Amino acid sequence: MEKELTIDVLSSVQKPARYTGGEFGSIVKAPEETEATIALAFPDVYEVGMSYLGFKILYHLLNKEQGVAAERVYAPWVDMEAKMRERNIPLRTLETEKRLVDCDIVGFTLQYELSYTNILNMLDLGGVHLLAAERTETEPFVIAGGPCIFNPEPLADFLDFAVIGDGEEVMVEVMTAYKAWKKAGRPGGRQGFLHEVVKIKGIYVPSFYEVKYNADNTIASVTPLEANAPATVYKRAVADMNSIDFPTAPIVPFGEIIHDRIMLEVFRGCSRGCRFCHAGIVYRPVRERKPEVLMDLSRKLIENTGYNEISLVSLSSADYSHLAPMVHSMIGEFSKDRVSVSLPSLRIDAFCVAIAKEVQAVRKSGLTFAPEAGSQKMRDVINKGVTEEDLMNAVGAAFESGWSSVKLYFMIGLPFETDEDILAIADLAKKVQWKYKQVTGKGGCRVTVSASGFVPKPYTAFQWFGQNDMETFRRKQFLLKDALKVKNISFQYHDAKTSVIEGVFARGDRRLGKALLLAWQKGARFDGWSDCFDYERWLACFTETGLGWDFYAGRERGENEVFPWEHVSPGVSRRFLWNEWHKAELQQLTHDCRRSSCVGCGICPTLGVKIVDYKEAEQ
């Protein structure tokens, strides 16, 4: 007998507001006006999922469609899951408390590989069969999108289909096709709808492809089995960001969330060409919003939410062509209401410090820069395009403006890295402290060094690279830790164990589905959370299923090896990435194509989408 969430259950778990729904701005549609329900599912806790802008955009756009009800569901924390299983309470949507199994579509957002076990857990709690092949005619279609979907293969056994690229236009097309199929009496059953939806550009149906393997376990071929399934599924890309209806009345949560502020996407894409950066390729090309559009959106968002901070988000917000005049306009208009403006990502230059100083007029915060590597050699390897002089000029300008602390982000475990390159991170942090003394004539500058383990990703120049193993990561972490035992320098680093498992799923194939299922059966949940992650459990699952870390993450791959993900593409040329891999070895730079000549990545002509950049010279 199924039971509901009752007061005694909610009062016995952490943060009960995660599970109640009914927030200001949430949209509830009556059954009589609903032809199709999609559960937008985020495989992490409420406060993480509610902070994701893509979720807000799809919720808004899909609920605008006649007959479509888009509802939300998040992963229950372990305390709530225990109560739900104990009392046989199914996982339901927040809007109308619909069980997942009663929805038409359950759509997951894939932001992080270590959330994959949560996908299985949510399906199980919602009464949905985990394996796509076992789902009955009455069960929902399970789909996924997001940046991780550019390698959907580890989830191939569990997904009915995947949405590749920007979701704003394609998801409306998917729901329109579903309503038509449902209205026609569901011709052909589940397979009938899959044969219809695969005709939509950007849709990948894993069961429509056959994977063959070589004797050495590498991929021999990935071949479509159905006439309408394309050999390569290219991503969808919105050509004009101004044409997309951006949400101006988002849900305002009862409790605190990670990013509890207005999030305004100023542009999509990045062309700086950092060779480690997955997002820099899969979100290309750069497409800006007009400043007048952004100002209008800001006014509506402030009025509808009551938030007192606007965060200008993108992969590199400081690259927005009209940043300085727009920030000036925003502060001039909104500061009287104590509404501040923030930039989550700063370039390493004095211009950014000047902008940062202006936005701090309303509310002070710290400064964060991302040199990514300590030595100039390594910054050239990754095509960062900044020098030590750039960093010193930036922090010098910050110290002159009154800042006395900075945070610096780095990666360790990059290709062609030596111990000297690791120690150069410590040297750079000390030089920042010395710069403070030069500028102010006194000591006391606080520097925080944060270092994460590098995980090679598909569709980057480093997709051929053999990832560092756990022992190597740890040795480098402790080498840096010893070198940073300096007053007023603090060192933060991530557990290498999670980086190692992330590396397996980032570049894995569909055979990993067996290990993923086994890990969930053995209790894997919230693997991205250190207090839930169990490295030994994952190693045991790989052993039991005959899979290995070395094969998927540790080995350097051959020039012509067929990768598991290449039939799902952001449009980038493999030759371009291979050339970038060799330029990395030679420490050669590749220029930013945004306001210069084309670098030949192939994305714009392949997708038929152009760079949109409102630089002042064109006004």
Q: Express each pLDDT in 558-616 by its tens digit.
A: 999 999 999 999 999 999 999 999 999 999 999 999 989 999 999 999 999 999 998 84
pLDDT of 619: 46
Q: Two tokens at 458?
A: 């598909």
Of 455, 414, 419, 468, nearest in space to 581 by CA: 414
Residue for token digits 């030590």?
A: 388
pLDDT of 365: 62
Whole-angstrom Cα distance, residue 292 to residue 285? 21
Report mean pLDDT in 10-residue bins for the chain, 619 residues: 74 91 94 96 95 93 97 97 95 96 97 97 98 97 97 98 97 98 97 98 98 96 96 97 91 85 93 95 96 95 90 90 92 88 77 76 69 97 94 90 91 98 97 94 92 97 97 97 95 93 97 97 95 95 92 94 98 98 97 93 96 71
Kindly give the residue spans of alpha helices, DSSP state H, lying in 159-205.
167-183, 189-197
Residue 477 CB contacts under 8 Å (≥ 6 apart), including other chains: 412, 451, 493, 496
C-alpha distances in Å from residue 308, one per residue of 313, 330, 393? 16, 12, 31
How far out from the chain centre does Cα 81 lie? 25
Whole-angstrom Cα distance, residue 253 to residue 20? 10
pLDDT of 1: 41
Ramachandran region of residue 120, left (φ > 0), alpha (ψ -120 to 50) or beta?
A: alpha
Whole-angstrom Cα distance, residue 3 to residue 17? 19
Radius of gyration of the chain from Cα atoms? 24
- The single-letter code of the amino acid at 391 is L
C-alpha distances in Å from residue 195, one per residue of 133, 229, 416? 15, 9, 46
Residue 561 CB contacts under 8 Å (≥ 6 apart), including other chains: 218, 219
pLDDT of 364: 55
- The single-letter code of the amino acid at 378 is M
C-alpha distances in Å from residue 530, one per residue of 146, 220, 456? 23, 37, 21
- The single-letter code of the amino acid at 228 is N
Using a 10 angstrom Cβ sphere, with 0-12 exposed, 13-18 middle and 19 or more buried, the burial of residue 556 is exposed
The half-sphere exposure of 236 on its side-chain side, counting CA atoms within 13 A, is 20
Average pLDDT of the chain to the nearest whole number: 93
Helix (H) or strand (E) holding 70: strand 68-74
pLDDT of 349: 74
pLDDT of 542: 95
Whole-angstrom Cα distance, residue 231 to residue 473? 38
pLDDT of 29: 96
